[in-house]
Structures are given as C-alpha cells and as structure tokens.
C-alpha cells in the first residue's frame, strides 16, 4: 500500500454534494493517508472541494473528468472511489473511469462491496500497467481474524462509543473532532475505525465491520482496542459507530458497548430527519432521542453528550433544536462541524476521570 506522501484524486462522479460521498468528505476534511490533489466530479467542477463541502477553501480543485486532471500535468498515483452507496454497489458510470486510470498506471483504492479486483477487465488493465488495486472491504482470511476472548477486560484506556440514531450522520467526524480537542489539552486520543473511510484516513487500529463475518465482529473489535491500548496507552479510545442502533436494515452499536467495553457514549442525531436514511419510502421513523438514551442505559452505558448533524437547518433552527434537545435530555448538545467539541469536553473529561478511578 502507498505511503502518506502518495498523491490521490477522489472519484465521486456527480455525487460530491450528496451524503453518498461521505468517504470523499472525510478525506477532503482530513486526515488522509494520501495527499489529496483533486476531486473528480463534473457537477461541482471548477470549484474548490473544501468550499463546496463546507465553505472552507482547502486548495483541492474539483475537475470534470480524469482527462482534465491528466492534461493539467497533475496525474495522481492513486484514484480513490469516494462514494459509499447503499449496499456498496459500484455506480455503473465509474467503471470506465477506473479502467482509464488503471490503464495509465494509476492505482485504485476502493471501499465498496463491489470489488474492483473481481472485474477481469479492470484486473487486466492493472496488470498491463503495473497499477495496484486495493479493495478495502475484501474480507480477511479466517487465519487473520480474531474471536472474542475477554482480553478487553485488561484494557486500561477509557472507551467512548460514538453511536448514531441513523446512518451517514458524521459519527467518524465526531470522533476526529473529539480527538482533536483532546490533543489541544495535551491528552492522547485514538480512534478505532470500523469502516473503510477510517482506513483511508490512515487510522492505525480498526477493522471494516460490515465485511467481517458476524461471529468475529466482537473479536476484531476487541483485538483492535487491545492492540491500541497496549501499543499507545492513550488517554481515551474512541470507537467509531456504524449504521444506527435500531436501523432495520442493519442495527449496530451493541457490540461497541458490550464487546468493546464502552461505558460512555456520544450519541449522534440529525434533528431535521424523520425517517431512516434511504428508507423514507418505507416510512421507518427514527426513534426518539429519549428512547435511545434509555436503550443505551439498559446496555449498561450512559450518554455523555449529543452530537448534532446540522443538515437542512439554518442558524436559528440550529439554535432552537439544540436548546430543545438539551432541555429534553439534560445533556450538552453540540454541532461538531460548527461548534467543535468544546461544549462536550467537560462531560468527556469527567467520564475519563471516573473510568480511571474504577
């Protein structure tokens, strides 16, 4: 695999401004194991990727196609598939672009369930040019994965799970924002990733949860936490949640509390959403925050603060929802991409202190 200095362009193919492009969003915001040089997305071309994403100029141009990028003389070493589609399906329009890249010796990193290395045409193009193909979600061999052993009970670092009331809320981003706030205080925090974007961002410890056989999810989680604790002895380990606690298409979260020993939770929520993401047509309503707090309590953990996704909310609506949620729950609520994590740090640091005293 490439080193941190390797350059990469991100392929979003018209989806950069959608929630499907959360992988691209994470890499544009950073961190990243690559040096991101461009985003390929015709719908947003001619703009700065950071400006499009959140108004912050980052010097990453958005170009219409791979030819435009190559003609500029800025050929990247890698092309990263920057979307996370429902079911992990590779959009049909991306295959010709991947073929074009591989033929030119540009390696491909893909985080979808559709594996580039299963496509004979793409594999042949890579073989001719010497390009590499990395399918991040390809399951590991049985000999490489771990069964839960109870070693988690020897971990000394407190753990906080960042869980969600829905998918695509920014749980990984909240982990990164809290970790940054810890570092500003001279404390160490590590994120255990559970998805492909965390790996692309260069996190050292973790696994891809939805590509792991169910029997070994708890063991892989435990192994990542134990390895992180033994090697780095951080002040805090943040566990990146996946999906949502009660998403009928893939409930997730209990593992982080029960198998990972996270007695503290930051709960992520989008006040403007009524139905689970991509299930609007089924009218599957997101459960109430108060019922989610109670469910987490029944698992033996407690919510420390509420992290809010500000999508579709103007400034006044953001304030109103934050005040309402704080009044209903008695917990601090914060918008990580607007407020940072400072408002939640008293709760986080208090939890760390209480866990160290156990």
- Segments of the chain assigned E as strands: 7-11, 35-40, 62-63, 78-81, 107-110, 133-135, 159-164, 189-192, 236-240, 264-269, 302-308, 332-334
Question: Last residue of a domain, which of 93, 116, 135?
Answer: 135
Please say which residue of 135, 156, 187 terminates a domain. Answer: 135
Is residue 1 one of the residues assigned to a domain? no
Would you state the structure tokens that stand for residue 311, as one six-digit string? 């999508």
Same domain, 201 and 177: yes
Same domain flag for 192 and 227 = yes
What CA–CA distance (Å, rounded) separates 325 from 100? 49
Task: Specify if 264 maps to a domain.
Answer: yes
Same domain, 295 and 164: yes
Expressed as residue numbers, the domain containing 290 is 144-356
Q: What is the CATH number of the domain that holds 19?
A: 3.40.50.720
Asked if residue 183 is part of any domain, the answer here is: yes
What are the C-alpha distances in Å from 332 to residues 288, 336, 343? 17, 12, 7
Residues 333, 294 share a domain:
yes
Q: How confident is the model at residue 3 (pLDDT cuts 50, 70, 90)?
A: very low
**Three-class DSSP category at 308:** strand
Same domain? For 208 and 154 the reply is: yes
* Structural contact between residues 60 and 38, judged by C-beta atoms closer than 8 angstroms: yes
How many residues can be counted in the chain? Answer: 358
Tell me the pLDDT tens digit for each residue of 303-343. 999 999 999 999 999 999 999 999 999 999 999 999 999 99
In this structure, are 317 and 216 located in the same domain?
A: yes
Residue that finishes a domain, picked among 105, 135, 165: 135
pLDDT of residue 42: 97
Query: pTM for the whole thing?
Result: 0.93
- Whether the pLDDT of residue 56 is over 60: the answer is yes
Do 148 and 290 reside in the same domain of the chain? yes
Contact between 326 and 349 (Cβ < 8 Å): no
* Residue 2: inside a domain: no
Q: What is the pLDDT of residues 144-186, one digit of tens each?
A: 999 999 999 999 999 999 999 999 999 999 999 999 999 999 9
185/177 Cα distance (integer angstroms): 13
Is 200 inside any structural domain?
Answer: yes
Same-domain pairing of 183 and 129:
no
Average pLDDT over residues 125-148: 97
CATH number of the CATH domain containing 244: 3.40.50.300
Scored b (16 or more CB within 10 A) or e, 244-267 reads bbbbeeeebbbbbbbbbbbbbbbb
Residues 109 and 154 in one domain: no
b/e per residue, 132-165, with b = 16+ CB within 10 A?
bbbbbbeeeeeeebbebeebbeebebbbbbbbbb
Q: Is residue 116 part of a domain?
A: yes
Q: Tokens for 181?
A: 């706030």
Tell whether 248 is covered by a domain: yes
Q: Measure the CA dihedral 7/13/18/20, to 10°.
A: -80
Distance CA 49, CA 323 (A): 32
Instruction: Please indicate, yes or no, whether residues 123 and 169 belong to a single structural domain of this protein.
Output: no
Assigned domain for 98 exists: yes
Q: What is the pLDDT of the chain when averaged over all its residues?
A: 96
Tell me, what's the pLDDT at 2? Answer: 43
Assigned token pair, 132: 């590499």
For the chain, how many structural domains are there in total? 2
């Amino acid at each position: 695999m490439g080193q941190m200095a390797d350059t990469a362009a991100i392929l979003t193919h018209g989806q950069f401004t959608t929630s499907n492009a959360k992988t691209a969003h994470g890499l544009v915001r950073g961190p990243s194991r690559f040096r991101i040089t461009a985003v390929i997305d015709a719908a947003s071309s001619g703009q700065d990727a950071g400006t499009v994403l959140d108004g912050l100029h980052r010097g990453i141009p958005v170009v219409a196609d791979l030819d435009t990028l190559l003609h500029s003389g800025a050929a990247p070493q890698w092309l990263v598939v920057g979307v996370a589609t429902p079911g992990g399906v590779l959009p049909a329009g991306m295959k010709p672009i991947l073929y074009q890249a591989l033929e030119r010796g540009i390696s491909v990193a893909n985080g979808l369930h559709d594996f580039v290395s299963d496509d004979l045409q793409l594999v042949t193009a890579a073989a001719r040019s010497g390009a590499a193909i990395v399918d991040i979600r390809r399951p590991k061999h049985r000999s490489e994965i771990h069964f839960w052993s109870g070693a988690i009970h020897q971990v000394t670092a407190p753990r906080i799970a960042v869980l969600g009331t829905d998918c695509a809320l920014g749980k990984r981003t909240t982990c990164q924002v809290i970790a940054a706030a810890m570092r500003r205080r001279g404390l160490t925090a590590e994120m255990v990733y559970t998805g492909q974007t965390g790996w692309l961002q260069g996190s050292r410890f973790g696994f891809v949860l939805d590509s792991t056989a169910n029997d070994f999810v708890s063991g892989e989680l435990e192994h990542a936490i134990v390895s992180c604790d033994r090697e780095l002895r951080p002040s805090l380990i943040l566990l990146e949640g996946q999906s949502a606690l009660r998403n009928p298409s893939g409930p997730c979260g209990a593992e982080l509390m029960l198998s990972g020993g996270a007695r503290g939770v930051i709960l992520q929520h989008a006040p403007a959403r009524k139905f689970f993401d991509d299930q609007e047509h089924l009218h599957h309503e997101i459960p109430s925050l108060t019922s989610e707090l109670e469910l987490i309590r029944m698992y033996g953990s407690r919510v420390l603060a509420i992290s809010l996704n500000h999508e579709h909310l103007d400034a006044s609506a953001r304030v109103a929802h934050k005040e309402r949620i704080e009044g209903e729950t008695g917990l601090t609520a914060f918008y990580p991409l607007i407020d940072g994590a400072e408002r939640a740090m008293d709760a986080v640091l208090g939890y760390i202190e209480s866990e160290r005293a156990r």
